[in-house]
Amino acid sequence: MTAATRRATPHDAARLAELLHAFNTEFDTATPGVEVLAERLRTLLGGTSTFAVLGGDPAVGLALVTLRPNVWSDGPVALLDEMYVEPSQRGTGIGGAILAHMVEICRDLGAAAIEINVDESDADAMRFYERHGFSGVDPDTGERAFFFYRALGPGA
């Protein structure tokens, strides 16, 4: 199956927000709500450091990516901030199509690398990303990669 994918625009912010809200709700994670997310997405997608890919018509999945400069390369490093496919559409190929389109955009933008953070318990996601050419180990040393986090907001 070849799924329809496209790069999102600020006009897609509401649908992206609905999907992101559904993602967090599915996994019992806090969400600021669709309206707040949509407003943030309109702003972010109007700039140059964030892009999203939608899959399906109507959209049933997304990849949300931020880009940052990096001292080690001429191009930016891309971070796949969020990847989500509605539960009823998982296993149909839409996730792989979204990911492939995201990689293509990163190449077109001159990104040097793509980083993805995956929860340790999410074996399905790890297998998915590995199937699509990503690795949890440094290719030069074979050492496992780790992600560290520190919240800085109120109550942190």
The strand order across the sheet containing 61-68 reads 5-7, 50-55, 61-68, 77-85, 113-116
5-7/50-55 β-pairing:
antiparallel
Domain ranges for the chain: 5-131
Where does 5-131 sit in CATH, by number? Answer: 3.40.630.30
CA distance 98 to 64: 10
- DSSP letter assigned to residue 148: -
Question: What share of the chain in percent tops pLDDT 90?
Answer: 88
Digit-coded pLDDT (tens) for 114-153: 999 999 999 999 999 999 999 999 888 999 988 888 889 8
Decide: pTM greater than 0.85. Answer: yes
